[in-house]
Amino acid sequence: MAFSTVPTPLYPLYMAKDGFSTFMVTVVFAAYAVGVVISLVLAGHISDWVGRKKILIPAIGLELIAALLFLTNTSLPVLLVARLVTGLGVGMVTATATAHLHELHTAHRPGASAQRFELVSTAANIGGLGVGPLVAGLLAQWATGPLRTPYIVFAVLLLASIVAIALTPETVEEQLVRPAYRPQRISVDHGDRAGYTAAAAAGFASFAVFGLFTSVAPGFVAGALHHPSRALAGLIVFAVFGAAAATQSLTTRLTTAAKRRLGLLAQAAGVTTLVIGMHTANLTAFLVGGIVAGIGAGVLFKASLGTVAALAVPAKRSEALAGLFLISYLGLTAPAVGIGVASRSFPATTVMTWFAGVLLVLLGTVAVLARRRPTAG
């Protein structure tokens, strides 16, 4: 997950080197998200049939191929292909690794609370997204070869990951008679239709914030806020995702309903503060707003992840999680691309104001959906 966000603080460097616009940055980002969605639709559920490791190891192999592509060339076509390949690998990893973690925890701690699983899986998913920009930003600021060194470092880490997974126990027995292949279907019928729908909508809203900070936010900081430091860009993204992951660990004992309420309120307040920081060109307000929004998004996504994992039966857990990640990654993509398109015609502050308004409406919709659940979380 950290490798998937390595380019985030580097986008302004690519823009300066090859004349990219903010719109083209979102196109490159969209290529990644398209890869994730394609992978989730075509392969996100297959590990239920063939086993987790047979999907995870090839998925990380795709990430290694992407790293090599990044190292060979900085041109736009190569970046698009590299981000697409990255997305294909991440789409295979997300639902599969999350299901694998759940089963490993259940096997080694039978009868234990699922809180440890929720903490580890969400920290890996959300925390990893923050570590990538931090490491890449620091290396880009002070190491030689800012557009090469981060990918070399993560290529080594990816190789180590393959070895680690190879040594990890398998948790799914391969089916001798497999179901007829079909692409991933998105179903809200996992025991609680209203609960799954609310969780999916919350995942979309959470990832809309994450998409903002992994695509165009570094460009806003360098442009509208006049702070071009690559280390600062990486640090801001890390702060947002780090706050999300840290808050997840501090809210373990809260009920799902309480997490959802906290997430909705924090995300709404944070996005509003972030927009104020944009209008006043105040870096502190922008950073505080991003951190608070990240806290809200992290807690909201944690509640969604726990809800879906609990609702789904073991035979369909990977399928249910793939559906959640698919909808969430649509939230990662669509708003970011919309911001990029709008930025071609309107000032960044105006575009961010529109983004905040749409997101507040979406958060209100999540609150309404959650209140219609037949039972309290």
CB 328 within 8 A of CB 207: yes
How many angstroms separate the CA atoms of 163 and 281, rounded?
Answer: 47
On whether residue 345 sits in a domain, the answer given is yes
Asked if the structure places residue 177 within a domain, the reply is: no
Q: Which amino acid is at 339?
A: I
Task: Tell me the residue type at 72.
Answer: T
What pTM was estimated for this model as a whole?
0.83
Q: What is the pLDDT of residue 191?
A: 65
Number of domain units in the chain: 1
Structural domain includes residue 236: yes
Backbone angles phi, psi at 214, to 5 degrees: -100, 5
Domain assignment present for residue 216? The answer is: yes
Residue 329 φ then ψ, to 5°: -70, -25
Q: What is the CATH number of the domain that holds 216?
A: 1.20.1250.20
| DSSP characters over 100-160 | HHHHHHHHHSTT--THHHHHHHHIIIIIHHHHHHHHHHHHHHHSS-TTTHHHHHHHHHHHH
Boundaries of domain holding 21 = 3-169+188-371
87, burial (CB in 10 Å: exposed 0-12, middle 13-18, buried 19+): buried
Q: Decide if 326 is inside a domain.
A: yes
Residue 182, classified by CB atoms within 10 Å of its CB into exposed (0-12), middle (13-18) or buried (19+), is: exposed
pLDDT in tens, the chain (377 residues): 999 999 989 988 888 888 877 788 888 988 998 898 898 888 877 888 888 999 999 999 999 999 999 999 888 999 999 999 999 999 899 878 988 998 999 888 888 777 778 778 877 888 888 899 999 999 999 999 999 999 999 999 999 999 999 999 999 887 777 777 777 666 656 567 777 888 888 999 999 998 888 887 877 887 777 888 888 888 999 999 989 988 887 887 888 788 989 999 999 999 999 999 988 988 899 999 999 999 999 899 888 877 787 777 776 776 777 778 788 888 888 888 888 888 888 888 898 899 999 999 989 988 887 776 554 44
Give residue 129's region: left, alpha or beta (phi > 0; psi -120 to 50). Answer: alpha
Asked whether residue 308 is domain-assigned, the answer is yes
Residue 313, domain member (yes or no): yes
